[in-house]
Chains A and B, each alone.
Chain A
């Protein structure tokens, strides 16, 4: 047989073989995952990569994952039942000791640096392996959001790291086993990347590129893809181009204006799902005035709730959602996504420019006032465009807005130094409806985990009472009622102005179905062949 004949045969053979050939899913992230180590990082991409490999006890949507049941035995002790028959990717069985081990590793400083996730589990005093499949969490005080916080606890194998005896938990994460903890480099090399998740790490590069293959022994639904490639393309336009050029099958976070470009092509489609992030404006409502906010009569405009309501009523949220987001956002009516579990029913926030003007005049600012509005320019989807719209709405109201857009790092530094009187912020964690108001509007209380980011100087006795009661209420129904009280109060007083809830959007090949995650993480498990 001559050479071209052989070649033709080879091509024919490879075509025949292709239906059974490995199917690779290629996904492009918007920023590069930093490491495979599940603990020191909280950004969405690092967490997304990690969750292919490691699983948590409780799933994002509060469904059971590695835990099957959890409940409060007493106000300071929670019992978690673990799933039977789960194995780690190296074949070792999963059990209670692994949970204790993972808690210890999570609390342990990495390279002497406290873990970004650690402070959220500070009230946990002890973690006990009661039997092979039962774990008891003991807290210093009632800590009802423990199960929400457990969504950050990714489970590592104790045995794979050489720990085979019982572990005595301590809050510093030493636990007498600190020497056994894998280093960040061990996770990145794949040596310690042993989890219970649907995929295994085949390769991770320092640039954030990763390749995953199915975990054959996975306890749940089998992985649909023979191989998953994760790449990252920071530039929006280039990410879209990569999809259109056929380099990627799924991309995350297309810009609002790019969605139409993708939809125009029959070969591609977009999928979206309502997200967890609430975008709002924080106002410094101190009686002695806010930085960057000045009125002719020397008064403190933002200290008057009528002024705050006027600012809110001047904003046409439906126009922002419809025009700037093409419907890929929901107008906000409270400080948590209204569709989230535990979020109270609230009426829509009114848009009435004339009433807003009257309200402002009633408050004694008929001539308006001057206000600086600070917005990070590299953080929130459409953030600066929305800020420009706000500036226009408020200018119509008579408020002279000077818009300051800054890089995130500069913005955070100025915020930390207390230089911002009014600023845009986004809050989106899968931790229940009270998370934002408990962090941004409650008085600081390290023991109850309240008010860590209170920049508005809001202090209302009724709100305080409700939120402090919520912080220690382990009964779900009672906790929800307290959230409703606190939320209604916060919206009434408006120490911040809720704007909208971001939806999470993916662009993908039209022959794929993408279900999407509310936390915006891009996972192979949410991509299916049609």
Chain B
């Protein structure tokens, strides 16, 4: 196991290097920060001074090498727009995204897996058809459209929940958190529900098809004929066997939601990192975009590593050597 982890970290370093190069060159080609930051009344001399102060007057390879050198000392640079270290900007906004995604994930798994197992066990029940239809629809409706529907129903018509913003926060570990206040939770519910819909649908369908497949395996027949109670059959024999694909998808979804819940964050004005990424791309704030993508890559690598370790714990047949 240890050698597997070490090898994985080595591969990740190469991946990170390639990733940083791609994003750096990509941002360089797409837009010129000086063109975006300069005012209309900037003279040519003003523009040159701005480029010089940002280090953008040097050729691209030199800019990249300087960036790489700084990153190795832990310095991801300063935001062109906010004039602050980019890591501060990202970590300030990370808690908002994390708590929203975690709530969405909990909702998604807590609803999706039981619903999937139940539908798998009761294939002919009319409610199963309804679930199947609902999950197809839920998965097909675009995310931003769902978000607007949620706002329309729960904020504008029923006036139960606020449509945007983060509500009251409580400081903990140097950051503000919404999940510790009632007002904060009320603000979080709609964006989390917006993210959770897709997770519920995905988890339900995945669990149902797994259940249907496993229930007809010989060992399940055997266990049933032995007279093992149904709850034990589900918990012990069914769940463990269908969990591998579910864990994989959950891990990937978790990463994708943390990194790219941009649409939800924008519609609900949830001040998370997805919104920061979008704003930074529009403002040509290259240091933020590059640092963001590197951190996200690190996160995906870490999540995949955890998923692989979970495999081994769930299924004793899997060994890494």
Contact = CB atoms under 8 A, between A and B. Distances in A.
The answer to whether A binds B is: yes
Interface of A: 28, 32, 34-35, 40, 42, 109-114, 116-120, 122, 184-185, 205-209, 231-235, 237-239, 241-242, 244-247, 378, 407-410, 412-413, 415-417, 427, 439, 444, 446, 449, 452-453
B303 interface: no
Contacts of B269: 231-235, 238, 242
- Most chain B CB within 10 A, of A113, A114, A205, is at A114
Contacts of B89: 206
B37 A116 contact: yes
Contacts of A238: 147-148, 151, 163-164, 267-269
Nearest to B161: A245
Interface string B277-297: 001011110000000000000
A227 B293 CA distance: 39
Given A113-B54, A234-B266, A409 B284 contact: yes
Contacts of A245: 151, 155-156, 159, 162-163
B32 interface: yes
B43 interface: yes
**Contact size class for B?**
35 or more
B39 A117 contact: yes
Given A114-B49, A416-B32, A449 B41 contact: yes
Helix, strand, loop or mixed for chain A's interface?
loop
Contacts of A40: 83
Nearest to B148: A237
A32 B272 CA distance: 13
Contacts of A449: 41, 43
Interface string B123-157: 00000000000000000000000011001100110
B31 A207 contact: no
B282 A241 contact: no
Given A238-B148, A241-B155, A449-B41, A413 B163 contact: no
B212 interface: no
B218 interface: no
Given A246-B159, A413-B31, A184 B266 contact: no
Given A113-B80, A410-B31, 6 more contacts: A32-B271, A113-B54, A114-B50, A205-B176, A233-B165, A233-B269
Contacts of B82: 34-35
Interface in B233-257: none
Contacts of A242: 155, 162-164, 269
Given A234-B269, A247-B162, A413-B31, A407 B44 contact: no
B36 interface: yes
B45 interface: yes
B163 A247 contact: yes
A28 B162 CA distance: 13
A417 B34 CA distance: 12
9 contacts: A32-B279, A114-B50, A207-B166, A209-B271, A239-B164, A241-B164, A245-B159, A409-B30, A446-B44
B164 A237 contact: no
A184 B84 CA distance: 9
Interface of B: 30-32, 34-46, 49-50, 53-54, 78, 80-84, 89, 92-93, 147-148, 151-152, 155-156, 159, 162-166, 176, 266-269, 271, 275, 279, 281-284
Contact of B271 (A118, A119, A184, A207): A207
Contacts of B39: 42, 116-117, 119-120
Question: Which of A34, A205, A231, A235 counts the most B-chain CB atoms under 10 A from its CB?
Answer: A235
A408 B36 contact: yes
B285 to A, nearest CB: 9
A79 B76 CA distance: 47
Contact of B31 (A34, A235, A378, A409): A409
Contact of A247 (B44, B155, B176): B155
List the 7 closest pairs (A to B, CB-CB), nearest first.
A207-B271, A245-B155, A409-B31, A416-B35, A412-B35, A413-B32, A409-B284
A121 to B, nearest CB: 10
A122 B39 CA distance: 14
A409 B83 contact: no
A446 B45 CA distance: 9
A439 B39 CA distance: 11
B41 A452 contact: yes
A413 B37 CA distance: 11
Nearest to A119: B46
Nearest to A207: B271
Contact of B35 (A109, A232, A415): A415
Nearest to B155: A245
Contacts of B284: 409, 413
B129 to A, nearest CB: 33
A417 B30 CA distance: 12
B83 A110 contact: yes
Contacts of A232: 269
A37 B159 CA distance: 36
Contact of A119 (B43, B78, B80): B43
A413 B32 CA distance: 5
Nearest to A379: B282
A119 B41 contact: yes
Contacts of A116: 37-39
B298 to A, nearest CB: 22
A412 B32 contact: yes
